[in-house]
Amino acid sequence: MKYTIHATCSVLMLPFMLATSAMAGSADVVVENAWARASIGTSRPGAAYMEVHNAGDEPVMLTGLLTDLAMRPEVHRTATDEQGVSSMSPAGDIVIAPGETIALEPGGLHAMLMQLQRPMEEGESFSMTLTFSDGGETTVEVPILGIAARGPED
């Protein structure tokens, strides 16, 4: 009876152990070219952009964002329908394959900064932490560019 319980528990836990080992390696994440546009006050959401590269040998899963600048930072996806109307919605968890880079950029995936706690002023910067399914975190300093900026070189 004792061995049956252990064997049953082992079989039931196997999928969880495999899932954990398959999504490891957030320590190998590199964030580059981070930037944000200045905001007009705090009544409208802000946005931040960057490239997130998985330099490791295992997939990593981006699960969230943290910043003291916004109460609700989330990764959103912009989609355009057949009539040319664009809409944004939460992207959910994002898996980054080994050696791959995802771009958070205008018109695609981006960091939506909802419920701003202060205006995003040109020339300032803020910290943003990316959280991953393995419990790891990567923090990046995000410079705030002009309201009409189109990329980190502006």
pLDDT averaged over consecutive 10-residue blocks of the chain (154 residues)? 45 42 70 96 95 95 98 93 88 96 95 97 97 95 93 80
pLDDT value at position 48? Answer: 97
- Alpha carbon of residue 16 to chain centroid: 23
Tell me the β-bridge partners of 110: 76
Name the CATH superfamily for 2-16+33-145. PCu(A)C copper chaperone (2.60.40.1890)
Q: Is 71 helix (H, G, I), strand (E, B) or coil?
A: strand
Q: What residue segments make up the domains of the chain, in order of their start?
A: 2-16+33-145
Cα separation of 27 and 138, whole Å?
8
Q: Provide the token pair at 109.
A: 């995936």
Q: Is 79 helix (H, G, I), strand (E, B) or coil?
A: strand
Amino acid at 32: E
